[in-house]
Amino acid sequence: MWLCTLLSVLFGCLSGSALSGPRVWIIPRQSPRFDRPGDVIVGGSFSIFHFSDGTLSNFTAPPPVLKTSSASMWSYRVAQSFVFAIEEINRSAHLLPNLTLGFSIRNSGDSVHGALYETMGFLTGQEEPIPNYTCQHGSPQAALVGDTRSSLSVSMARLLGLYKFPQVSYSSSLPSLSDKIQFPSFIRTLTSDLTCSHAVTQLVIHFQWSWVIILAHDDDFGQQASSLATQMLTPAGVCIEYHLHVPSHQSFGKIEETVQKMQKCTARVVLVFLSNSNFQLILHGLLAVPVSGQVWVSMDTLHMALALTIPGISQVLQGTFGLLYHSSRAIGFPEFLAHLRPSQTPEDMFIKKFWEFTFDCTWPYQNSTVTEGVQFCTGNESLKNKPHPFPEVSRIDAAYTAVYSIAHALHNMLACEHQERKGTNSHNFHSWQLLHNLRNVYFKTSDGNKIMFDANGDLVTQFDIFQGKKTPAGVFHLVHVGLIDPQASSGNKMMVQLKQDLQVPTSICSESCLPGFSQVPRLGAPHCCFDCSPCPEGQFTDQRDMKRCLLCPKEQYSSHTRDHCLPRTEIFLAFEEPLGFILALVALLLAGLAVLVLGVFLKHRDTPVVRANNRTLSYFLLISLSLCALCALLFLGRPTVTTCLLRQTIFAVVFTVAVSSVLAKTLTVVLAFRVTRPRSRIQVCLSSGASTSVVLIASLIQVVLCGIWLITSPPFPDRDMISEPRHTVIQCHEGSGANFFCVLGFLGFLAGGTFSVAFLARGLPDVFNETKFLTFSMLLFCSVWTAFLPLYHSARGKSTVAVEIFSILASTAGLLGGIFIPKCYIILLKPEKNTPAWLRQGHQVQHNRQCEMLQRRCVSSGESLGSSL
């Protein structure tokens, strides 16, 4: 009883006194059919004639006789492909050889009412069908093929699903029909719209379009398709500029608003998920506005075919792409249609009306009087002269594969029953048995295509890619340019195969970032909109549109264009390069000059100039200065473990000897003027042994510091990859920074103390002005090393070594020139001043000057005392 109640609701059957009359009011009392007997009957539902508004019931009165407003040229041809397939199967010696298929073709009128009425009529075998009752005792019914639109197939599938009766659709692509819980007996020889939408997104990704518009219905399908497209495109880096939703019913105001929005869009690719009528209205609206250069990508190639019939559409459609599921071709079907005549199939109740619509004629018996200008149908007209437009995409043989799927499933079922010897014949099977075999059917068509269905009952197939192109004559037509294979997929990515390289326009929000640049997102804009920023030093990008720059390996640096890395070259201050050669030459010259001065002093060691102020200290100082100049050579060349251990320590020790020698000479001058009586303690300090002790003690302290440094954390060769981006600087790492600065600090303390003593003693009388020369040389020394500190820390790479060598040589030259050049001048150029007589005369003059100074001080002191008294 519950099943009867449910079906009564479906047909609008109301009980009681609310409405009276038969329950078939909503459908015309007589409906045309095309029946042919056979051992097994296959039904077909096609929207051949469209019912006019007056034909459908308003639920207040019985409907009038059947009136058709128009005939579908496509649907009738599809119905003929249904007939062609059955006749071909009946002639086959391999497929159902002992069985003849019959059929019953019915007209749904492109309405849900008509589809349900004809479906129930086919199931019950009654003109006025009653649910759950059948008056048919003849051939069993195998399956039902149809219908065209998804809304019709949904209603049919709900009804047929109750009986597990197989339904094979050739044109309904609604995604919800893949739900086997709601529609358990529904199978289709095409894919769902969601799979097509997925294929559309793969085409967008393949052509690297990153800035698109989605134009979709505002119904469930449009929302599902646009949502799926967004989910697939966003991870692939594609941005949606606008989601434009068009009402399912034709709303001219909404379409005009959509056209205005499209004028403002910058994206050049439009993904279309619309019906044919709304799509054509959009295109008509765009013809009136200056919009061109957009690429339309549709999941339905028929969109494009119908659009190309609009005059002047070439300025809107440029390089349009459409998808069509790859289906089998009915070989010989065009010839079958060409030989079709009404006289050959008198049982076909549709052909005469179709003939009138197609050839614009009238059958003579329908007119009692001859009207002027009326053309009569002869029945000898040929459809060869009336081809359906766009045969490459219109698929007028759509029902061919559906019939063959049913036939192969029936063949497999009967073969299985025969092998199991259950004695089942063609008249003794249930619909659910055929449904099981239909879901698992697998065969090859005559043109080599494989036919099989997935778990959802959808056809497993490929998609043909069509592109609208303009011929030299200026006519647009659709050209097959490739295919998309969902089976040869990796994850969610389908394989796209093109016959040739296509020149397609770009659709991007921002120009692509070349190698050497990285993307910088624009504030508040989608991730597809960005600016290109060059990679900094040491980083690179070797591909387009990289999100960030990559770091080069430590042993490499980035090229000038920042698109790859190059190997670093090792550098150090070598003897062979000009700077190293000059510094080495200067070091040798200074060392040679110090040795030359030492030779002069040794030759004239008994002269007053050499003997003045402890000649032993002069020898120590000259030897240490010579070693100071030579130690600069340790800083040149490739650093090794040995040179790194010796360079700073030798530098510190020999400079300590030099500075301590200057300190000893300065102290000797100062103490000499403090001797007031013979054999005093101060006079003991003036001995050569005391001066030597100062040098030895200072040098010993420095040696101890250097020893601690070398034992705890010695210097070692290091590779500096930061100072110079393109080079690896081979240098000596100082090891412990604290020990290094302790060594330099002691040397600085010694130099500062020496300069302070010399500066205080600069006014003491001396025949050869040695105190002034000592002060001047130490001033040079301290100035050089004071300037060295900031330069050393600001220099990079091998410049650091050059600064230190220059400081060593400059301070050496300062000490050598400031102390010994004036003495060499007297020894070599003024020998008359290098005699004891001149020395005594000079001492007398200095003594007189010293007495005068003392007297002046006493007088000034007395005057000051008298004034105070």
* pLDDT digit string, tens, across residues 9-24: 333 332 332 223 333 3
Three-point CA angle 616, 621, 623, nearest 5°: 95
Average pLDDT, rounded, for the chain: 81
How far are the Cα atoms of 633, 751, 754, 811 from residue 808, in angstroms, in the given order? 11, 14, 18, 5
Q: Are 77 and 388 in contact (CB under 8 A)?
A: yes
Asked if the model's pLDDT at residue 518 lies above 50, the reply is yes
- Please name every residue paired with 410 in a beta bridge, in sequence order, or none if there are none: none
pLDDT number for residue 708: 92
Could you give phi then psi for residue 482, rounded to 5 degrees?
Answer: 170, -165
What six digits make up the tokens of 447? 């043109």
Could you tell me the two tokens for 791?
């330069």
In order, the DSSP letters of 305-330 are HHHTTSTTGGGT-SS-EEEEE-----
Rounded Cα distance, 337 and 379, in Å: 13
Q: Residue 772: CB partners within 8 Å, gap ≥ 6?
A: 762, 766
Q: For the chain, first and last CA: distance in Å?
A: 147
Which pLDDT band, with edges at 50, 70 and 90, does 688 fall under? low
Q: At what angle do helices 112-124 and 150-162 cross, to 10 degrees?
A: 30
Residue 188: per-residue pLDDT = 94
Residue 154 has pLDDT above 80, yes or no: yes
Nearest to 111 by CA among 37, 26, 178, 185: 26
Name, in order, each residue with C-beta under 8 angstroms of 840's C-beta and a sequence gap of 6 or more. Answer: none
Q: Does pLDDT of 542 surpass 60? A: yes
**The 3-state secondary structure of 71-111, one letter per residue:** ECHHHHHHHHHHHHHHHHHHHCCCCCCCCCEEEEEEECCCC
Q: Are 178 and 396 in contact (CB under 8 A)?
A: no
pLDDT at res. 26: 36
d(CA 771, CA 667): 10
Q: Which two tokens stand for residue 656?
A: 């300590």
Q: What is the mean pLDDT of residues 506-511?
A: 87
pLDDT of residue 362: 87
Residue 795, both tokens = 């220099």
Residue 450 dihedral angles phi and psi, to the nearest 5°: -90, 135
CA distance 27 to 45: 15
State yes or no: pLDDT of 138 exceeds 80. Answer: no
pLDDT in tens, 80-97: 999 999 999 999 999 999
Average pLDDT over residues 677-697: 64
- pLDDT tens digit sequence for 267-292: 889 898 887 777 777 877 887 776 66
pLDDT value at residue 733: 86
Rounded-to-integer distance, Cα 291 and Cα 842, Å: 108
The residue assigned the tokens 């003059």 is 845
Place of tokens 């009867």: 4
400: number of Cβ within 10 Å: 28
R_g (Cα) of the chain, nearest Å: 54
Least trusted range by pLDDT, from 86-90, 237-241, 596-600, 610-614: 610-614
Residues comprising the chain, all counted: 869
Mean pLDDT score, 156-185? 92
CA–CA dist 106, 75 (Å, integer): 11
Question: Which of these ranges, 72-81, 711-720, 829-838, has the smallest mean pLDDT?
Answer: 829-838
Would you state the pLDDT for residue 564? 92
- The Cα 577–Cα 727 span in angstroms is 16
Q: What is the percentage of the chain residues whose pLDDT exceeds 70?
A: 79
Distance CA 488, CA 609 (A): 102
pLDDT score recorded for residue 3: 34
E strand or H helix at 3: helix 2-10
Choose the weakest-confidence range: 116-120, 127-131, 304-308, 382-386.
304-308
Beta bridge mates, 74: none
For the chain, what percent of residues have pLDDT higher than 90?
Answer: 27
Q: What is the DSSP string of 738-795?
A: HHHHHHHHHHHHHHHHHHHHHHHTTTS--TT-HHHHHHHHHHHHHHHHHHHHHHHHH-
Which of 415-429, 579-593, 661-675 ranks highest by mean pLDDT?
579-593
pLDDT at 327 (0 to 100): 78
Q: Residue 526 carries which side chain, given as an amino acid letter?
A: P
- The more confident residue out of 725 and 455 is 455
866, exposed or middle or buried, with CB in 10 Å at 0-12, 13-18, 19+? exposed
pLDDT tens readout for residues 827-865: 888 777 777 666 566 555 555 555 555 555 555 544 433
Determine the pLDDT at residue 842. Answer: 53
**Close Cβ partners of 118 (under 8 Å, ≥ 6 residues apart):** 31, 45, 106, 107, 108
Of 572, 509, 489, 594, the residue nearest 809 (C-alpha): 594
Contacts of 214 (CB under 8 A, 6+ apart): 226, 229, 230, 240, 242, 243, 244, 270, 271, 273
What count of other Cβ atoms lies within 10 Å of the Cβ of residue 263? 11
DSSP H helices in 420-492? 431-439
Residues 580 and 573 sit within 8 Å (Cβ to Cβ): yes
DSSP 8-state symbol, 127: S
CA–CA gap between residue 414 and residue 408 (Å, rounded): 10
Torsion of CA 152, 156, 157, 162, to 10 degrees: 160
Helices (H) and strands (E) in the chain, counts: 24, 27
Top pLDDT among 682 and 43 is at: 43
- CA–CA dist 420, 428 (Å, integer): 15
Specify which residues 520 forms β-bridges with.
Answer: 531
pLDDT at 724: 82
For residue 52, the model assigns a pLDDT of 58
Cα distances from 159 to residues 11, 44, 154, 227, 382, in angstroms, run 11, 15, 9, 30, 39
Confidence band for 613, pLDDT divided at 50, 70 and 90: low
For residue 524, the model assigns a pLDDT of 83
Contact in structure between 420 and 445 (CB atoms under 8 Å): no
What pLDDT, on a 0 to 100 scale, did the predictor assign at position 245?
86
Q: Which residues of 160-171 are buried (b: 16+ CB within 10 A; e: fewer)?
A: bbbeebbbbbbb
Report whether 281 contacts 250 (CB < 8 A). yes
**pLDDT of 102 higher than 70:** yes
Res. 823 pLDDT band, cuts 50 70 90: confident
- For residue 733, what are the CA distances in angstroms to 290, 373, 746? 71, 110, 20
400 contacts 189 by C-beta, under 8 angstroms: no
Residue type, 68: T
pLDDT beyond 50 at 182: yes
Q: How far apart are CA 320 and CA 237, in angstroms?
A: 22
- The pLDDT confidence band at residue 61, using thresholds 50, 70 and 90, is low
pLDDT of residue 480: 85
The per-residue pLDDT for 631 is 92
**Is the entire prediction scored with pTM above 0.75?**
no
Q: Is 800 exposed, middle or buried (0-12, 13-18, 19+ CB in 10 A)?
A: buried
Residue 552 pLDDT > 80: yes
CB 660 within 8 A of CB 698: yes
pLDDT at 70: 72
Q: If DSSP codes are grouped into helix, strand and coil, which group holds residue 477?
A: strand
Q: Which tokens belong to 130?
A: 């009653």
Bridge partners of 70, per DSSP, are 50
C-beta separation of 305 from 394 below 8 A: yes
The H or E element containing residue 145 is strand 141-145
Residue 371 scores a pLDDT above 80: no
pLDDT of the residue at 838: 63
Q: Which amino acid is at 563?
A: D
Nearest to 167 by CA among 329, 399, 391, 361: 399
- The Cβ of residue 10 has, within 10 Å, a number of other Cβ atoms equal to 16
Q: What is the pLDDT of residue 866?
A: 39
Characterize the bridge pairing of strands 565-567 and 556-558.
antiparallel
Largest CA distance in the chain: 169
Residue pair 615/605 in contact (Cβ under 8 Å)? The answer is: yes
